Amino acid sequence: MSLLVVDRLSITVPGVSLPLVDALSFALDAGGSLAIVGESGSGKSLAMQALLGLQAPELRVQGSARFNGRELVGVGEATLNAVRGAQIGFVFQDASLSLNPFLPVGLQIAESLQVHRGASRAAAWQEAQRLLDAVRVARPGQRLAQYPHELSGGMRQRVMFAAALACRPQLLIADEPTTALDATVQRQLVDLLRDLRRDFALSLLLITHDLGLVGELCEQTLVLYAGRQMEVGASASLLRAPQHPYTQALLRARPSLTDDVDTPLPAIPGALQRAQLDGRRCRFIGRCTQAMAECDGAEPAWRVAERSALRCHRHTSSGKTTSGE
């Protein structure tokens, strides 16, 4: 049974023909986990925010996203508010920006309990303390009364997790939850996130460009480029044997422990420039090392192949290509 079914979700700027997010489709099973990867500007965060009605008001969102069978796209604020915070938790990248600097953290965790569960103030604060304990904040009782600036970066991010999980949501959307932290704290938070998934029976949608996290936290991976999904597959096989040239390039651009430190990382040439994109050919064409004549002629269709589903002419033309292995 699918918890979240996103079907051809498109986000367009009125007057601009090429959508920012173009017909994004995926399904997430209850208890499952999906990572959405892609470089900056690929539309990962935007798509997730649009799921919850948080996109800028001038953008147009089309398509459908059903959460537990309930439509989320195009419904009113009241309907969304019943889902947001209560059934779907959201963690932003930088907790120092997403916590209100003028309110004690306890209040910010307890608030959604009071709103969604009708909990009394005292009960909500008690629960907030338990939640802080669950995200492994030391001396949680003391922390509740503190303001965000009094906490360390890692602790603030834990507070964000506590706030997002307050109402025991079924789904947690984490938008680069560890990017703003240093490596050791990152490690702790990844462990915490994995444990929280188990303890809270959470489904996880992880937006990231840290491919190391993907393998650890998510069973499924979706690769997004310029608003178009390029490849979807099980994380294990996708990371080991990427099919799409873009996924391959992304994986090559990771630093390796065994390579000589002086070897420059193989970066993907060029940059994602929306102005040069064209809906009539492959979005990745200008930067692809394996581009062919067909790539310029038409955008490849979405095709379910053996190892993963992907959008590439190389794989539609020759059937079972296994490049990258």
Partner 1 sequence: MGLIVALSLLLAIILFVLLAPLASPYACDEIDFDGPWSSAPTLAHQHWFGTDSLGRDLFVRTACGGRLSLLVGVVSTLVSLLIGVAYGACAGYAGGRVDTLMMRAVDVLYALPFMFLVIVLMVLFGRHLLLLFVAIGAVNWLDMARVVRGQTLVLRRREFIAAARIGGLSDARIIVRHIVPNLVDIVVVYAALTLPQVILIESFLSFLGLGAASTSWGALVDDGAREMMATPWSLLFPALFLGATLLLLNLVAEQLRLRLARGAGTT
Which residues fall within 8 angstroms of residue 117, CB to CB, at 6 or more apart?
Answer: 124, 167
The smaller minimum CB distance to partner 1, of residues 57 and 69, is found at 57
Phi-psi region of 123 (alpha: psi -120 to 50; beta: other; left: phi over 0): alpha
* Positions 44 through 103 that interact with partner 1 (CB under 8 A): 49, 52, 54, 57, 77, 80-86, 90, 92, 94, 97-103
Q: Which stretch binds partner 1 (CB under 8 A): 112-120, 131-139, 232-240, 263-271?
A: 112-120
Determine contact, residues 210/286, Cβ cutoff 8 Å: no
The rounded distance, in Å, linking the Cα atoms of 269 and 254 is 14
265 near partner 1 (CB under 8 A): no
C-beta closer to partner 1: residue 123 or 292: 123
Neighbours of 157 (CB within 10 A): 30
Q: Smallest Cα–Cα separation from 38: which of 297, 231, 321?
A: 231
Smallest distance, partner 1 to C-beta of residue 101, A = 7
Exposure of 282 in the CB half-sphere (CA atoms within 13 A)? 26
What part of residues 134-193 is at the interface with partner 1 (CB under 8 A)?
Answer: 160, 163-164
Pairing of strands 220-225, 203-208: unpaired
Closest approach, Cβ 104 to partner 1, in A, equals 11
- Shortest distance, position 69 Cβ to partner 1, whole Å: 19
For the bound state, the minimum distance from the C-beta of residue 91 to partner 1, rounded and expressed in Å, comes to: 9
Binding of partner 1 by 111 (CB under 8 A) = yes
Q: What does DSSP say about strands 33-37 and 203-208: parallel, antiparallel, or unpaired?
A: parallel
Residue 15 as a binder of partner 1 (CB under 8 A): the answer is no
Question: How many chain residues bind partner 1 (CB under 8 A)?
Answer: 29
- Residue 251 binds to partner 1 (criterion: CB under 8 A): no
What does each C-alpha distance from 83 to 51, 123, 242, 288 come to in angstroms? Answer: 11, 22, 35, 40
Provide the 8-state DSSP code for 84: B
Residues that bind partner 1 (CB under 8 A): 49, 52, 54, 57, 77, 80-86, 90, 92, 94, 97-103, 111-112, 115-116, 160, 163-164
